[in-house]
Structure 1
Amino acid sequence: MYVPHKEISILTCQDSLLLQTPLYYKPVEEVANSMRIPKIMLLDYPEKIVEVMEKLPNQLKEAYYIVRSVPYNLEFLHKNVSKGTALAMLSEKLQLTADEVLCLGDAENDLSMMEFAGTAVAMGNATDKVKNLATFVTKTNNEDGVAFALQQFI
């Protein structure tokens, strides 16, 4: 994970530890034009992320897939990259229809995947957006929600 400032926020440090990903300092000016950047993440307190989201220009919203996976981050990805597009591609390769696919999710970055799958399961600790889109709500992560959901459908 590259950071553009020497002063690193506590949220960035926590995310680095959670993901077990080392941090590297690289000023924006030193990022080579040829460097492939798969994702840009902004990490800040949830209220600040909401403020940033409200101020994003439409041009940026149209050019990138912008999503939150946790309340304290905002991710910018290639327009055609999402869990939904990945699941659709995998399903096609495995010759499965969407109706034959079950997925589980808990955050906004799971919405595209849940829109694709014939059976969309929200974890008990999922956001309201995810629960509203789901065909079934299971138990929380801490209550073995994945196992419970699989027992219901398999």
Structure 2
Amino acid sequence: MSIRMIAIDIDGTLVNSQRQLTERVKTTLAAARDKGVKIVLCTGRPIPGVEPELKELGLVSDEDYVITYNGSMVQNVGTKDVIFSADLKPADYIDVNAMAQKLGVHLHVSSTDAIYTANRDISPYTVHESWLVHMPINYRTADEMVQYPVPMIKMMMIDEPAILDAAIAKIPDDFRERYTVVKSAPFYLEILHPGASKGVALSQLASHLHMTADEVMAIGDNENDLTMIDYAGIGVAMENAIPEVKKAADITTASNDEDGVALVVEKYVL
């Protein structure tokens, strides 16, 4: 069965180490679109953080879709209609914030309009996320987060990689059962609704578009890409992917600095 949709992670996959889209990747994806293949960016970023790549690839029409917040939202790019969403609630903030404090790491909340933090000394990793996804940072006390809640799409435990890894090792199993917990970068651990993941979001979109998993290719490099690589008929790992992703994938392509996305699309789709 031919591939009708390609889901592509952004950081470490679609863009190179300089966060650039190469001409070969752009040309190859344009050729796939000309064949009628849906190109779906599937990212941990919110909508504002993915708009530059969507525009550069021309994925801005009512026929285009994007998966954001690590699978917590599926949206039509042109109409802004939400196809699928799975938000967290104020009670979840109380639970996750308590765990972050117990583990000794920072926490911030990704909403639809901003990044919210209860840390007076704002973490440099919150600042980095703000820069990366083109969203402002708003300070709220922990009590205000609960009393005057904003849409809580995902929460992120953030800290120096060694500190975060030590904290991750101490997260109890019952916490992982209550949430989807995925590492998206050495300094980011993302906490999502238990019904949210890139794999779930991709299956929701495929169903919406009357496609089967066999007609989907998914390409990624990190832990948060595992579920969509497992779901897709062809799961692809970048050469720069973590070992768990390479083990789960059907194929390993070249790295993001060697046009790996273009190479695998040229071979299996064009």
TM-score, length basis structure 1: 0.93
Q: Distance in 2 between matches of 1:31 and 1:59?
A: 24
SS across alignment from 1:146: helix
- In the alignment, which of 142, 148, 156 is matched to residue 28 of structure 1? 142
Aligned twin of 2:54: none
Aligned twin of 2:160: 45
Aligned twin of 1:82: 197
Q: Distance in 1 between matches of 2:185 and 2:159?
A: 11
Unaligned runs of 5+ in 2: 1-114
Query: Does 97-106 or 48-57 show the bigger shift?
Result: 48-57
Aligned twin of 1:17: 131
RCO higher in structure (CA 8 A, sep ≥6) = 2
Aligned twin of 2:241: 126
Aligned twin of 2:170: 55
- In the alignment, which of 102, 118, 128 is matched to residue 4 of structure 1? 118
Aligned twin of 2:215: 100
Aligned in 2, Cα 1:57/1:33: closer, same or farther, shift over 3 Å?
farther
Aligned twin of 1:150: 265
- Structure 1 segments of 4 or more deviating over 4 A? none
TM-score, length basis structure 2: 0.55
1:111 aligns with 2:252: no
SS across alignment from 1:21: coil
- In the alignment, which of 180, 186, 197 is matched to residue 65 of structure 1? 180
Deviations 1:60-110 (A, max 9, x none): 111000001111111110000010001111111222221111010111101
Aligned in 2, Cα 1:65/1:10: closer, same or farther, shift over 3 Å?
same
Unaligned runs of 5+ in 1: none
Deviations 1:123-152 (A, max 9, x none): 121111111111111122222211111001
Aligned twin of 2:112: none
Counting matched residue pairs gives 154
SS across alignment from 2:190: strand
**In structure 2, what residue type is equivalent to 1:66?**
V
Cα drift, residue 52 of structure 1? 1.3
Percent of aligned pairs with the same residue? 39
SS across alignment from 1:141: coil
Cα drift, residue 33 of structure 1? 4.5
SS across alignment from 2:191: strand
SS across alignment from 1:62: helix
Root-mean-square deviation over aligned CA pairs: 1.4
SS across alignment from 1:56: coil
